[in-house]
Structure 1
């Protein structure tokens, strides 16, 4: 397996976890926060998708799916259009809600497909290309993609954890 294949496999695993965290849940569970300052499944999946969309499209030199497919209007969030969730206050986290998991998964799947199309076109040499000189040392494409993978896997796992906690809470003490 080449480096592009390894990266694609890792992104596929994120997709599995995201779908497992979201599918079949009603909006009230997707939008629920375990406590007043915690992240909801909606916010976690939206955020990981926004970061992937922002970072991979920048590296690929393409427009973010958020804008090119007008997901920004579909979500109707009371946030700046270019918001990715970094630095969000508790109030901003609470404002990221959906009426259906289909919206979250639709956006996620569109970003996933654009990311895979880019990744499948890479060779090992491409991963050494510097994509961000604002850091010391400068960030290469390989480092940027691993950073996205790491962030996305953490947030997908958090969404799965929140789902489990909410389902246990809903089932009551007899399930424990």
Structure 2
């Protein structure tokens, strides 16, 4: 670790993503934090500290330059978190993978933009949900009083437009779906347009 810069580190191991992306830029100490958050070892006895959610998934705050970041644990069946990114006059909340939960709604309160996953086509018949449906995303945005909703991680059996239509039944603010190559701003304008697929 000593050879890594203090402000950021980079993992240069080859990535496994099909687009060939490699590594990630992380704040100092992130690698150690992620190591603490690994799932418990199968040998850990039930009820032991190793099987409880690690402390890094409680509310955490940090600053990167002029940006203030706050993370909170969310409901995904395994440790997962959402993040709120704030500048002096703008805020964006990214849900990460999660079912609807109070922690996300509180974190997203009055945000300018809520970037929310909508992977599920319906609430599961058995077991706890681990993703939002489009309607859930609309409910989260409405309850949080988010100023704009952008859907991402849309389920394979939904078209983006279907997801937007379903979310709009629960939320009457501006709704978009995240599109590769499109840049969004919090004043509800698009500053760059994605190229349509060939």
* TMscore range, shorter length: under 0.3
- How does the TM-score come out when normalised to structure 2? 0.24
Bigger Rg, which one:
2
User: Which has the larger share of helix?
Assistant: 1
Highest RCO, 1 vs 2 (Cα 8 Å, sep ≥ 6): 1
- How does the TM-score come out when normalised to structure 1? 0.26
